[in-house]
Chain A
Amino acid sequence: MPDATGLELLAAELGDAALETVYFREQATLVVDPAKIRTVLAALRAKGYSFLASVHGVDYYPEEPRLGVLYELLDMSKLDRLTIKLRVPIDAPRVESVTTDWPTADHQEREVYDMFGVVFEGHRDLRRILMPEDYEGHPQRRDFPVGGEPVLFTRDEAKWLERRE
């Protein structure tokens, strides 16, 4: 982990792309401008963070901007980890895809799209990955209820057919 000072230095180097630094429980997090995610990751790759361990989403409901995407970077020679975080509003959840530089992000960006509805621009094959293709809604959002999906059991079949008519 870069220590708190190292994180500040890193943020200073990135200039106005870095919005905020969080140092919590020995984990360094850099909040960046969503429009500059590709340049930030490229700059960090040049600094040695050459392995993208994970891309995952999070919903900060009720805070705004609601959706977050986290990129977990790893420097294998310095044994250093760094979390890059960006926040996008729920009505325009658009982020540039990083799949051209980091092929590993392919499945993971699809999962974030599937679960949170974040659109990754430039992703070649942005489809749902875990949910069925005709599914509506993004189930990992905090306002999506658990058990919100009706399940058809055989015993209720007659009722369902009736309601459909």
Chain B
Amino acid sequence: MSPVPTEPPTLSEYRRGEQSITLAPVEEQLVGVRGETTDELFTLNFGPHHPATHGVLRLLVTLQGEVVRDIKPIIGYVHTGIEKTAEDKAYWKVIPVVERMDYLSYYFNAMAFCGAVERLLEVEVPSRGQYLRVIHLELNRIASHLIWLGTSALDLGASSIFLYCLRERELILDLFEMSSGQRMHTRYFQVGGVIEDIPGGFEPKLREFLKVMPARADEYGAILNSNEIVLQRLRGTCPLDAETLLGLGVTGPLLRAAGNPWDLRKATPYSSYDHFDFKIPVGTVGDNYDRFAVRLAEIYESVHIIEQALDGLPEGPYITEDRKVALPPRHELATSMEALIYHFKLVTEGFRVPPGEIYNPIESPRGELACYVRSDGSSKPARVHMRDPSFVNLQALAHMSRGSYIADMIATTAMLDPILGGIDR
């Protein structure tokens, strides 16, 4: 239990305005009945099944009146042992299991894992494969941010935004279905590239989406930025400075909202990100409004990246020609004995990876997502670990919310954007 601070919490604009409403007549009647309750600490069990926790997250909240004094997150409710399962599967069969960790950014999980294995194998991804990866990663980033925006707005009482956001996400899922046959957990990324080239109708449909999306994002910004209730709940609530955030290991939009422009796509470019011109949105004070504004601005930047990737999409193979890693094309199986042997080896045993350890970080919609893979030389990984940004960022929730109202804690949880599938793995 944390000690009770002596000074009262600072009031937001909204709360100060509220003070003009007096409850004195009511309180007079309660004299003697109520007693001194303001110093008493009260523990509230929040979740695991609560719509505002964005998943199966349980928070033990210590309250003093309506003010949050401490938060202890309790996690593990959706722990499914994916890291353990991965050790029992051939490398290429691990991709669908790791995709299910952070279920809103499946392309990123696959990218972190495939990137790690490619570095172990020293396989070069052809540039068309890299560009196709960037297109899908950024589409996925937009989809993930749309779900975040919709559910967060729902928490703040702006329920219509949720429906709008899901409408746009549907367009993205349709595109994913076109390129891979699946809407979620697509298994599109393979070790060495992507499984298939984009089909004929993909490009015009994507261009149509790229035209629609910025206009729709303008609408969301206009709706929420002119909503007084949303603004009062976001502006100035639960700020945290960049120094503390770095100590807590927080990365991604939360860190950028506090003014630190750290983005792995710029800092250590992977998958041809250095070919594209884009900006990194940063905030100034690091309050909930900045966190909201940074993510909304990232949607525009992602659209900009996809436009450039689509315009400059190089011709050539989309997956490595190394037959020891990637499946041979279907037509070769009928004519080439060698292709048939490679196909058989890959499908039955999988490929063997030289022994070693790799930590491969990428920038997911929530921060640094890294995959650690240890190979012992066999066709199954000896250890797969995901450094999931939600898992690390969750530690900042208590630091952000201490001393604020419980209603602001709800907004902060929403702006933290935790995905419990990624936290519990």
Contact = CB atoms under 8 A, between A and B. Distances in A.
Interface of A: 24-25, 27, 29, 50-54, 56-59, 70, 72, 76, 79, 81, 83, 102-104, 106-108, 111, 115, 128-132, 139-140, 142, 144, 146
Interface stretch (B20-28, B59-67, B218-226, B388-396): B388-396
B87 to A, nearest CB: 8
Interface stretch (B8-16, B189-197, B242-250): B242-250
A103 B395 contact: yes
A144 B88 CA distance: 12
B249 A56 contact: no
Contacts of A27: 119, 357-359
Of A25, A79, A128, most buried by chain B (CB within 10 Å of CB) is A25
Main secondary structure of the interface of A (DSSP, over half): mixed
Interface of B: 75-76, 79, 81, 83-85, 87-88, 119-120, 122, 246-251, 262, 267-268, 356-359, 361, 368, 370, 372, 374, 382-383, 385, 387, 391-392, 394-395, 424-425
A103 B247 contact: yes
A112 B83 CA distance: 13
A106 B397 CA distance: 13
Given A25-B119, A54-B359, A130-B75, A72 B84 contact: no
A150 to B, nearest CB: 15
A54 B370 contact: yes
Contacts of A111: 391
Nearest to B368: A53
Given A70-B372, A146-B84, A29 B387 contact: no
A25 B122 contact: yes
A107 B246 contact: no
A33 to B, nearest CB: 19
B359 A130 contact: no
Contacts of B81: 139
Nearest to B260: A76
A159 to B, nearest CB: 25
B249 A53 contact: yes
Contacts of A56: 372, 385, 387
A104 B248 contact: yes
B262 A54 contact: no
Given A25-B356, A53-B387, A104-B392, A132 B247 contact: no
A61 B232 CA distance: 55
B88 A59 contact: no
Contacts of B383: 58-59, 140
B76 A132 contact: yes
A129 B75 contact: yes
B358 A140 contact: no
Contacts of A81: 359, 361
Given A79-B267, A139-B81, 9 more contacts: A54-B370, A54-B387, A58-B374, A79-B268, A83-B357, A103-B395, A104-B250, A106-B395, A142-B382
Given A29-B357, A79-B268, A130-B76, A54 B247 contact: no
Given A56-B385, A76-B262, A146-B88, A108 B248 contact: no
